[in-house]
Amino acid sequence: MFTDVGILAEAIGSRYHLRSDDVPILDRPLLAEPAGIDRLHPPDPGSQGRLPAYVEAVDRLFQTAGDMLPVFAYIPCPFTTAAGLRGVDDFLMDTILEPERARQLLEVSLEAAIRLSDECVLAGGLPVLVDPLASGSVLSRRTYSEFALPYERRLMDYLHRFDLDVTLHICGDTTTLVDLIPATGADLFSFDKLEVCAAMTAMGQQIRLVGNISPSLLLESSRVSLEPHCLHVIQQGLGNPRGFVFSTGCEAPIRCCAERLDMMIRIGKQSRYER
């Protein structure tokens, strides 16, 4: 049950521009100055923003198909939520100029993620943690280590109390961070712009891998042959010691070509059964 990664920041008070048939975009962050962090409180998933509708959607899916299919609930990680509350550029500057304020905002964002996770688990959802702004495409290795990883780890530790295997997804290029991912405690790591062999070398003995066909290959406008890309990823991933889940590197595009998605699923199933 995917939703946009700004859903927690919006519930706390940031304003997002909601677009028809496309993901919302941040319109106005809640905090113009870091001093405003003192007034923040985690939102109530039962009454604030779009959180009640999201939890209800998870519940409906579970009631309809929970005996046949796992229902995954996407939970934004603290770093991504904090950036949505402060604005990406300003929050990145805060990690340098106002590090204690940045950590204070991360604490509020962590509690918000925990509360939403609790409600989604009660509704029958299995949390999948998403932290797109903790990407190596955005952060230095030092910033990730100090301001993203510790909060991913604390959220992961909390969810492990439910005896769940939890997936962490980070968008973009994670090449510079890949050896740090096991420290998050993730059971599965979903990756985007990272070579499968590099992920296996860095963490294959510790984490199951999920990935990583480029979502752009599922667009109707794509003229690139999908099959060789799928077979290449599968061939590499099946050698991972802890296991491999064949998937896209990020969510399937809203304007995804259904025929291409069907082809990808068919290739994955055939490869698994033939093995």
Bridge partners, residue 38, by sequence:
none
| Spatial CA neighbour of 7 closest among 22, 23, 19 | 23
Report residue 242 as tokens: 């802890």
Report how far residue 214's alpha carbon sits from residue 13's, in angstroms, rounded to the nearest whole number: 33
Residue 26 three-state SS: strand
> Is 147 within the bounds of a domain?
yes
47 lies in the same domain as 167: yes
Q: What is the DSSP string of 155-176?
A: HHHHHGGGT---EEEEEEE-TT
| Spatial CA neighbour of 244 closest among 208, 193, 190 | 208
Domain boundary among 182, 204, 224: 182
* Residue 132: DSSP 8-state: G
Q: Is residue 248 within 8 Å of 212, Cβ to Cβ?
A: yes
Domain boundary among 182, 214, 249: 182
Q: Is the pLDDT of residue 101 over 60?
A: yes
Residue 17 three-state SS: strand
Domain boundary among 148, 182, 216: 182
pLDDT by residue (tens digit) across 50-75?
999 999 999 999 999 999 999 999 99
Q: How many domains does the chain have?
A: 2
Report residue 116 as tokens: 């939403």
> Is 187 within the bounds of a domain?
no
> Is 101 within the bounds of a domain?
yes
Q: Is residue 251 within 8 Å of 2, Cβ to Cβ?
A: yes
- Its sign, for the CA torsion 78, 80, 81, 85, is positive
108 lies in the same domain as 166: yes
> Is 190 within the bounds of a domain?
no
Report residue 46 as tokens: 């039962």
> Is 188 within the bounds of a domain?
no
Q: Is the pLDDT of residue 128 over 70?
A: yes
**Of residues 34 and 28, more confidently modeled:** 28
pLDDT by residue (tens digit) across 165-200?
999 999 999 999 999 999 999 999 999 999 999 999
Q: So what's the pLDDT on residue 85?
A: 97
Q: So what's the pLDDT on residue 22?
A: 82
Global pTM value: 0.94
Q: So what's the pLDDT on residue 47?
A: 96
Report residue 234 as tokens: 């599968």
Report residue 17 as tokens: 């521009």
**Residue 155 domain boundaries:** 1-182
